[in-house]
A = this chain, B = another copy of it.
């Protein structure tokens, strides 16, 4: 047994160990490459290879002591060649667990490079819901290659889980749970569990079902510890547990876990029969994935672009649709300016000042939009709240537009000694802020109303609106007030 004073704070120790391994693996990969280049010198080669092999054995041992999540972390941090070497060092029986922790893109590339025999070794170590999880992110051909190696019995289960839509509770459920009958005594349950041990991870309660496998309630483990053994399950179980249907949306389950502080909850099919459960670790993964994806989606990127080491050409092409959209909208703004070319020709200062209005509009609109997107995510914006929020954002924009528009006008007057120009820019700023607030609120709301993702590319669309309208408002006002026709 370990003495407790030998323990170091787990995560600090770990962070250090992880960095060391990443460092060692990178160096090792470099050495192997140098070795390959200097392969003309035969003698040296043999010695060097022996040393390399010793190093590798030591590294493999180190990796073996890591949690799969930490191995995954190390793999993500490594450049492709070191990554391949490290993957070879991971023992076959642990590869499944590591694959589950990896990002989609890296998982795809590693599975793609595996031999059929390796795949079958990996699949043997996983539960059917984990296999479903693993293959759900793979392209069709790889998916087939993996599924071929799954046992007949498991295959039915895997295909069942795969048949649920990606954003449903069914797709995130765990098939591994313990159920007991309501007319059993606690003593009988106790005996059953002793035979089944260990319990599946995150089992804080047993699911109570009737003869037809219909949900009757749940039996928390501590009841089993505390209540008299001769009592029946039905006498001590909780009869109103939170539960979900396979076709519920995954975000509803996540919300319920957050709110009611759940550890696990049963999942039912449409006949109200228990088919699985959701556990809190899956929920945490889901929350994280969602949060990470959000900031990327706002600028038009997807999770696909995740791997820092994917070839740049591939990543560049993935960004093309948004660059194209952006170019198009920028061109529209440019045409707006073009319409006012004669005005600008009369007063070049307008060209100098017009980006100020557009820029402030973009940033203010982004503030409103961040608040709206959060409100939508929290389910806090009904029609009534939206109206309140619009009025509120307009009021804020009005106040800021008046105050800072006046300031901007004053500075402009100081620079150009032209009070008409000062009024135009101040007025344009006020109008632009009002418009930016409206656009910042409407863009995500309208996207969602039409069943689209309210976040995807919202930032690009907002900038397009605030830019073109900013130029239009400023130059339009200038044409009205300043220019002699």
B239 touches A2 (CB 8 A): yes
- Within A182-230, the residues touching B (CB, 8 Å) are 190, 193-194, 197-199, 201-204, 210, 214-217, 221-222, 224-226
- B residues in contact with A7, CB < 8 Å: 215, 240, 243
By the criterion CB–CB under 8 Å, are A370 and B263 in contact? no
A276 at the interface (CB under 8 A from B): no
Number of copies: 2
Which residues on the B side are within 8 Å of A263 (C-beta)? Answer: 202, 204, 263, 280
| Bound: A342/B301 CA distance, A | 40
Chain A 8-24, CB-CB to B under 8 Å as 1, else 0, gives 01111001000100100
20 more CB-based (< 8 A) A-B contacts, given A296-B374, A330-B359: A2-B240, A9-B245, A10-B256, A73-B380, A76-B380, A198-B222, A199-B222, A202-B263, A258-B284, A258-B288, A292-B377, A295-B298, A299-B366, A316-B396, A323-B364, A324-B404, A326-B363, A334-B356, A345-B345, A351-B354
A367 contacts B261, CB within 8 Å? no
Confirm or deny: A32 has a beta carbon within 8 angstroms of a beta carbon on chain B. Answer: no
Chain A to chain B contacts (Cβ below 8 Å), 23 pairs: A7-B243, A9-B243, A9-B248, A10-B243, A15-B379, A19-B382, A77-B382, A193-B225, A198-B222, A221-B222, A221-B225, A294-B295, A301-B370, A308-B375, A316-B399, A319-B364, A331-B356, A334-B353, A334-B356, A337-B355, A345-B345, A348-B348, A350-B351
Is there an interface contact between B299 and A363, defined as CB atoms closer than 8 Å? yes
Chain A interface extent, by class = 35 or more
**A293-319 interface code vs B (CB 8 A; 1 in, 0 out):** 011101111000100110011011001
Q: How far is the CB of A448 from chain B (nearest CB, A)?
A: 16
Would you call B362 and A463 a contact (CB within 8 A)? yes
Asked if A407 lies at the interface with its beta carbon under 8 angstroms from chain B, I say yes
CA separation between A358 and B322, bound complex, in Å?
15
The answer to whether A216 and B284 touch across the interface, beta carbons within 8 angstroms, is no
Q: Does A341 contact B (CB under 8 A)?
A: yes
**Is A136 among interface residues, defined by CB-CB distance under 8 A?**
no
Q: Any chain B CB within 8 A of the CB of A460?
A: yes
- Are B221 and A296 interface neighbours, CB within 8 A? no
